[in-house]
């Protein structure tokens, strides 16, 4: 029986999902409470910085997603 190659764990996908779940929780909390959790002057840069970090992680772990035969 031929042995299948092991797939390596790619942290980019789960981290991206956690980031967007966190953003959704912040916005949902603000909507349900009627008070914004943080103003746009704080959320804007945090969101952009988070997207930048997620992008860097996705680029650095691209080799793990590539299926070379």
Query: What pLDDT band is residue 49 in, cutting at 50, 70 and 90?
Result: very high
Query: What pLDDT band is residue 9 in, cutting at 50, 70 and 90?
Result: confident
Half-sphere exposure of 63 (CA within 13 A, CB side): 1
pLDDT per residue as tens digits for the range 25-44: 988 998 899 888 888 898 88
Buried-exposed string 19-50: b where 16+ CB fall within 10 A, e elsewhere: beeeeeebeeeeeeeeeeeeeeeebeeeeeeb
């Amino acid at each position: 029986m031929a042995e299948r190659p092991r797939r390596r764990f790619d942290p980019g996908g789960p981290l991206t999902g956690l980031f967007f779940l966190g953003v959704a929780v912040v916005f949902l909390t603000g909507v349900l409470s009627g008070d914004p959790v943080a103003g746009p002057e704080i959320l804007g840069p945090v969101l952009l910085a988070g997207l930048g970090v997620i992008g860097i992680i996705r680029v650095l772990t691209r080799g793990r997603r590539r299926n070379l035969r």
